[in-house]
Structure 1
Amino acid sequence: MSESFDENARVIERRWPMLYTRLMLEDSAAIHAELSEGLVSTLSIGGIQLTSRHDRVREARVQAASLPTSKAQLHVYGTGLGDLPNVLLERAELERLYIHILNGALFVLVLQLLDQRQWLDDPRVELLYAGDHTDIYTPFFALPSEMVLADDFNAKIRDRLVSEVHLSFNNRDFDPQSPLILQRLQDSLEVLLADDDVAQLFGTCAGQEIYVIGTGPSLEGHFEQLAAIREQTLRPLFICVDTAYRPLREHGVKPDLVVSIDQRISFRHLPFEASDGIPLVYLPMSDPQVLSAWKGKRYGGYSASPIYATLRQQHPRAELYVGGSVIHPAVDLAVKMGAGCITLFGADFAFPMNKTHAGWSDGDLGPAVSQARHWVRDGHGRRVRTQLNFRSYLCELERYIVGHPEVRFFNSSRAGAMIAGTQFNQEFVQ
């Protein structure tokens, strides 16, 4: 170890002895870093610069400017080369600065190369591993390079940071004043006013077991078993998302309820011919032609989205939680109906078996598997490919589960993403 590391380590050992012990186990030799030089220099790991190579301090001041000066406590995710912590600690009003390590081995390497005592020794600083916590803290700044370089232990928090940072971008298509949105809501109004409020379903299944069925690839392994359970006299209630409806029917499974929220869902996804006796729960962004053709009973509702603000005032309906995917309102419906336990099917948030969805061809419902550039851990602890928005949907479902401790949540497969807060249903998971 270097002299720089010894001096840094003494501070860490004195202030955070348990953290020091963990850092001593990190393998900094596994980080293949190169010097990247410009007006100044920085580290480059796999072509990713840790900081600016021209003016690190100016970069840190730009980053710091995005954080409110009125807050007594701030959070920084990633340690970088220590520039951002040092700049933030110039604020006299700052009482506590939490530095969350996103890559332990990388941090140890930095400790070997540069003196970090200026911020490490400041009594206002708390140093911790990001992955020791179940969620992110605000207000925060996440160093862009370390959101890419986060190690496996801290990957779950990395995913939540990325989801939060991308939130405004992801919501760009949901401008309440968009002419397309306003027209769709107007077109759907007649159907909405003719249908029942989804609130009529709430509380109708108190204590019951409910299956919530998504369209992840792992669903394909359960078609036969679900068809057999569906024929039993005493059985769980089946709630499926819109894109799972057609594959289920093709395999002899008739759902008890279908949930649809996406304006792009068409007759191809929700064929109406055999929909007699199957209630449809929807939001007003759904295609009014698809809604009108549905033969089963229909229940309308809203989400908390601003696009429904005017409708909520003029024509009150109950709300369902939406976190970007139709799986969220399907789960929320099950909870509000009174489910005592919920088993998730096809809630993979990933591309196991090198597929995107059950019952659909590669690319039919979104990007193809070949375009997947991200990963999550599956139920075996292995990496499985996914796309960025799927990780965001996973984060939001996990947050929802934490907020409903009265319901037991189960997963039917280890093939998809590991869902925090769920157990595996041993009836389906070998």
Structure 2
Amino acid sequence: MSDFFQSNTDIIQRRWPLVAARLLAEDPSPLQADLVEGLGSTLSINGIQLTSRHDRTREAQVQAASLPDDSLVLHVYGTGLGDLQLQLLQRPQLKQLHVHLLNGAVFALVLQLLDQQPWLNDPRIELHYAGDLAEICLPFFALPAELVLADDYNAKIRDRLISETHLTFNNREFDPQAADIVERLQASHALLQGDGDVAALFGSQPGRGVFVIATGPSLELHFERLQAIRAQAERPLFICVDTAYRPLLDHGIRPDIVVTIDQRISARHLPAANTAAITLVYMPMVDPQMLKDWQGPRHAAYSASPIYQTIRQQLPRGELYVGGSVIHPAVDLAVKMGAAQITLFGADFAFPGDKTHAGWGDGDLGPQLIAAKHWVLDGHGQRIKTQLNFRSYLCELERYIAGHPQVRFYNTSRAGAMIAGTTFHPEIAV
């Protein structure tokens, strides 16, 4: 045991004994640690530099400048080599600095190699494992290297941090003044006037069970069971997302309601033939021609997006929650209709079996499998391929579920991402 490690952990043992016990149990030996030199030097873990190799102090100053000067409480995710903590502790008005570990083994290794006492000793510091909390804390700075190096225990918080960091960038496509958005809303205006209001469906199914069917690869494991349940006289309500509609039809399963919100969805995804008995719930950015062709009842909805601000005032309609994916309004619709129990199918947020979607070819609905450079934990606790936007959609669904404790949520697949707040259906889950 190094002198640094003993001195560092003595402080942690005194101030945060539970954290110390966990750190002492961490095993840094699988980590490949290297000294990387430039104008200065830094530590590289598994090929990822923890800080700049040229000027660690200047980098920390830039990072600190992104946080509000007047905040009494700040949060740092990841520990780096302690540089950002030291910069922030120079602020006399700061009352508390919470440091959240994203990889315990990485921090244990840093404690062996470098003196961290100057910031660990500061009475304003609080030290946590990030995964001990269900949600992120604001305002924060997340050290980029440790977002990459985050371990399994802290992965859920990592996903929320990345989603929050990317929020402004992801919303760039939704400028209310963008020509394509204005044009599409104008084209949908006449249809919107004549169609029903989604609010008319709210409260119409009190206490009923609802199946919300998405298009993840695990849906293919349930076609036979869904077909059998659909034929029963008394059964749950079937709500599917737009891209699940064709795969369901191909297996003789007709949903009660289809939800669609995306301007890229067309008749290719939602063929209009034989839809007289199927309700379409949509938002006005979808293809107007597809709407015209739909034979069944149509109910319009808005999200909270600013793109609907003007048209909402002209033609008020009910609102459904959207967190980036069509699964969010599908689930919100089920809740607002009165569902007591929601069972999720194909809600994988990942690529189990090296497939992207059920019933569609690789790349048909977006990036190909080869583009999957990220991971989430599946229902078995194993890492599974995914992409960043899927992780963001998962975060938003988990937040939604946490906000609706009166509804019981079931998941039906252990092959896809573990969804916090759900339990595996005792009879259907595979």
TM-score range, shorter chain: over 0.9
Determine the structure 1 residue equivalent to 2:350. Answer: 350
What's the offset of the Cα at 1:46?
2.5
Query: Shift of the alpha carbon at 1:413?
Result: 1.1
Equivalent residue for 2:174? Answer: 174
Q: What is the aligned partner in structure 2 of residue 293 from structure 1?
A: 293
Matched, 1:18 2:18: yes
Instruction: Tell me the secondary structure at the aligned position of residue 221 of structure 2.
Output: helix
- For 1:364 and 1:191, how far apart are their aligned partners in 2? 29
How many Å apart are 1:352 and its aligned residue? Answer: 0.5
User: CA–CA distance in 1 between the matches of 2:102 and 2:413?
Assistant: 29
2:316 corresponds in structure 1 to: 316
- Same amino acid, percent of matched pairs: 68
Which residue number in structure 2 is paired with residue 243 of structure 1?
243
- CA shift, 1:369, in A, is 1.1
Cα distance per residue 1:113-172 (max 9 Å; x no partner): 111111101111100000111111110000011100111111111111111111111111
Match of 1:87 in 2: 87
Q: How does 1:319-334 map to 2 (within 5 A)?
A: 319-334=319-334
**What is the deviation of 1:47?**
2.2
Is 1:336 equivalent to 2:329 in the alignment?
no
Normalising by structure 1, we get a TM-score of: 0.99
2-structure distance, mates of 1:70, 1:388: 32
Q: Give structure 1 stretches of 5+ with no counterpart.
A: none
Structure 1 segment 156-305 matched on structure 2, within 5 A: 156-305=156-305
Q: Distance in 2 between matches of 1:426 and 1:326?
A: 26
What TM-score do you get using the length of structure 2 for normalisation? Answer: 0.99
1:213, CA displacement in angstroms?
A: 0.3
Q: Map Cα deviations across residues 230-268 of structure 1 (whole Å, 9 max, x no partner).
A: 111110000000000011011000100000000000110
Residue 412 (structure 1) shift: 1.0
User: In the alignment, which residue of structure 2 is the partner of 1:360?
Assistant: 360
Alignment of 1:101 onto 2:123: no
Task: Specify the alignment match of 2:385 in structure 1.
Answer: 385
* Structure-1 separation of matches of 2:237 and 2:115: 61
Contact 1:77 1:101 (8 Å CA) reproduced: yes
Measured in 2, the distance between the counterparts of 1:150 and 1:247 equals 36
SS in 2 for 1:175: coil
Structure 1 counterpart SS, 2:75: strand
**Hey, what's the Cα distance between the residues in 1 that align with 2:29 and 2:383?**
23
Please tell me whether residue 5 in structure 1 is matched to residue 1 in structure 2. no
Partner of 2:57: 57
Confirm or deny: 8 A CA contact 1:260 1:282 kept in the other structure: yes
The alpha-carbon deviation at position 429 of structure 1 amounts to 1.8
Other structure's SS at 1:146 match: helix
Q: Which amino acid aligns with 1:125?
A: I
- Asked if 2 retains the 8 angstrom alpha-carbon contact of 1:30 and 1:105, the reply is no
1:396 alignment partner, SS class: helix
How many Å separate the matches in 2 of 1:295 and 1:31?
59
Question: 2:147 corresponds to which letter in structure 1?
Answer: M
Distance between the aligned counterparts of 1:141 and 1:383, measured in 2? Answer: 26
Question: For structure 2, which runs of at least 5 residues remain unmatched after alignment?
Answer: none
Contact 1:259 1:281 in 2 (8 A): yes
> Which letter does structure 2 place at the counterpart of 1:302?
Y
Distance in 2 separating the partners of 1:211 and 1:182: 34
Which residue of structure 2 aligns with residue 396 of structure 1? Answer: 396
Q: Counterparts of 2:274 and 2:157 in 1: how far apart (Å)?
A: 44
Give the C-alpha shift of residue 28 in structure 1.
1.5
Alignment match, 1:112: 112
Instruction: Kindly provide the amino acid, as one letter, of the partner of residue 280 in structure 1.
Output: L
RMSD: 0.7
Q: 1:22-61, aligned counterparts within 5 Å?
A: 22-61=22-61
SS in 2 for 1:28: coil
**After the TM superposition, which parts of structure 1 deviate over 3 Å for at least 4 consecutive aligned residues?**
none
